[in-house]
């Protein structure tokens, strides 16, 4: 009987974490560059139940399999392209990242699905590389973001919307004199002056070959524990990546689907709660009534 309590309790904890994940998505539905988070659940290993006594003449003493619970294994970000929203603001930037990879066997472009991955016939999983603006966090760590809602402070430093310094292609913070309206930004992130067309720098755009290894660092930034393993590199000439000034990338959150997931998590939580209440009443009767006989 206690096994059922543990199973129901694990289900409640899992649905609560699922609820928190969906709530986070809904709260960031209007956040530029936000990537929807999906909660991945996994069941505990199943147990094979067999007869210990009784039915001695049976050749098959297996009763069946018993599932012992579920857990929220991880939360992963859906690193796919968001919709473009034109703002006509000179300090707004968006990345259009559609980097293609060739299949070594056919030399054709790999057909990635809507989640940005491709599963081959042999089970090999390939992820679509994604491009990010490079910034430095307040603790000095290098981070990556798709939120291009930049701004210039009084010192001429280009900052993200949360106050993190935007890095250039050389890895140093970008500093501009005067107003951002005095500069042009082309589709590859090159920065030139409007007065004489002199190049003064380039936006630091990093490509992450395995975006699934990125973790959220707060302030709209992602971080990578091991850049070599994740395949972090600078933008190359052959990468199909475009910088658009005067645009912002919208979040990838599907508001309608999130509301459905939120309701489903609530209903599943309530169902597990009812099971806990049922076992509680059964234990109460066992202790207080049956125990008196």
Q: Report the pLDDT value the prediction gives residue 19, as an integer from 0 to 100.
A: 92
192-220 mean pLDDT? 90
Q: Report the pLDDT value the prediction gives residue 166, as an integer from 0 to 100.
A: 95
Please give the Cα distance from 272 to 274 (Å, whole number).
5
Integer CA distances (angstroms), 241 to 133, 175, 207, in order: 11, 23, 9
Is residue 15's pLDDT more than 60? yes
Domain that holds residue 11: 2-77+254-292
Same domain, 220 and 284: no
Same domain, 97 and 56: no
Spatial contact of 35 and 146, defined as CB atoms under 8 Å apart: yes
Burial 265-283 (b: 16+ CB within 10 A, else e): beebbeebeebbeebeeee
Bridge partners for 241 per DSSP: 97
Same domain, 273 and 139: no
Is residue 293's pLDDT more than 70? no
CB atoms within 10 A of CB 161: 19
Is residue 81's pLDDT more than 80? yes
Q: What is the 8-class DSSP label of residue 182? A: G
Is residue 1's pLDDT more than 70? no
Same domain, 237 and 147: yes
Q: Report the pLDDT value the prediction gives residue 124, as an integer from 0 to 100.
A: 83
Same domain, 154 and 263: no
Integer CA distances (angstroms), 63 to 52, 58, 60, 166, in order: 10, 11, 8, 62
Query: Would you say the C-alpha torsion 262, 266, 268, 269 has a positive or negative sign?
Result: positive
Integer CA distances (angstroms), 31 to 23, 145, 153, 224, in order: 14, 12, 21, 22
Among the residue ranges 14-23, 122-131, 280-289, the one predicted with the least confidence is 280-289
What angle do the packed helices 255-288 and 2-27 form, to 10 degrees? 160
Quick one: how far is CA 128 from the chain centroid? 14
Is residue 207's pLDDT more than 60? yes
Split at pLDDT 50, 70, 90, the class of 93 is: very high
Dump pLDDT digits (tens) for 33-67.
Answer: 999 988 887 777 666 565 555 555 556 556 566 66
Total domains, the chain: 2
Q: Kindly state the tokens that stand for 222.
A: 């992602």
Same domain, 108 and 72: no
Taking alpha carbons only, the member of 111, 155, 175, 165 closest to residue 134 is 165
Same domain, 73 and 127: no
Among the residue ranges 172-176, 251-255, 284-288, the one predicted with the least confidence is 284-288
Is residue 4's pLDDT more than 90? no
Split at pLDDT 50, 70, 90, the class of 27 is: very high
Same domain, 239 and 95: yes
Higher pLDDT, 256 or 284: 256
202-215 mean pLDDT? 91
Bridge partners for 115 per DSSP: none
Dump pLDDT digits (tens) for 95-118.
Answer: 999 998 888 777 788 888 877 888
63-91 mean pLDDT? 81
Same domain, 222 and 102: yes
Please state the φ and ψ torsions of residue 266, each to the nearest 5 degrees. -65, -45
Is residue 22's pLDDT more than 60? yes
Dump pLDDT digits (tens) for 150-176.
Answer: 999 989 999 999 999 999 999 999 999
Is residue 287's pLDDT more than 60? yes
Q: Report the pLDDT value the prediction gives residue 46, as an integer from 0 to 100.
A: 64
120-146 mean pLDDT? 89
Taking alpha carbons only, the member of 21, 80, 84, 10 closest to residue 44 is 10
Question: If you average pLDDT over every residue of the chain, what do you get?
Answer: 86
Please give the Cα distance from 130 to 55 (Å, whole number).
61
Same domain, 160 and 238: yes
Q: Report the pLDDT value the prediction gives residue 135, as an integer from 0 to 100.
A: 95
Spatial contact of 68 and 76, defined as CB atoms under 8 Å apart: no
116-126 mean pLDDT? 83
Same domain, 153 and 226: yes
Spatial contact of 214 and 223, defined as CB atoms under 8 Å apart: yes
Q: Kindly state the tokens that stand for 225.
A: 């524990």
Same domain, 101 and 152: yes
Please give the Cα distance from 86 to 31 (Å, whole number).
15
């Amino acid at each position: 009987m206690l096994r059922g309590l543990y199973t129901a309790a694990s289900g409640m904890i899992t649905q609560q974490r699922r609820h928190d994940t969906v709530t986070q998505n809904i709260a960031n539905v209007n956040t530029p560059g936000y990537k929807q988070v999906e909660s991945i659940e996994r069941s505990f290993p199943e147990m094979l139940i067999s007869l210990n006594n009784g039915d001695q003449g049976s050749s098959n003493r297996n009763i069946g399999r018993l599932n012992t619970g579920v857990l929220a294994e991880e939360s992963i970000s859906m690193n796919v392209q968001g919709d473009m929203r034109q703002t006509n603001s000179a300090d707004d930037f968006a990345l259009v990242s559609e980097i293609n990879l060739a299949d070594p066997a056919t030399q054709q472009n790999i057909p990635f699905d809507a989640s940005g991955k491709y599963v081959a016939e042999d089970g090999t999983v390939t992820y679509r590389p994604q491009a990010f603006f490079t910034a430095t966090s307040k603790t000095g760590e290098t981070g990556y973001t798709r939120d291009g809602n930049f701004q210039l402070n009084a010192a001429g430093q280009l900052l993200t919307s949360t106050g993190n310094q935007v890095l250039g292609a050389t890895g140093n913070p970008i500093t501009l004199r005067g107003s951002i309206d005095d500069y042009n930004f082309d589709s590859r992130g090159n920065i030139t002056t409007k007065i004489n067309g002199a190049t003064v720098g380039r936006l630091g755009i990093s490509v992450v070959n395995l975006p699934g290894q990125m973790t959220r660092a707060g302030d709209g930034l992602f971080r990578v524990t091991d850049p070599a393993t994740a395949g972090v590199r600078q933008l190359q000439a052959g990468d199909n990546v475009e910088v658009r000034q005067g645009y912002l990338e919208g979040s990838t959150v599907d508001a309608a689907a999130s509301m459905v997931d939120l309701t489903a998590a609530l209903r599943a939580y309530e169902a597990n709660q009812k099971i806990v209440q049922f076992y509680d009443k059964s234990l109460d009767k066992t202790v207080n009534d049956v125990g008196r006989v």
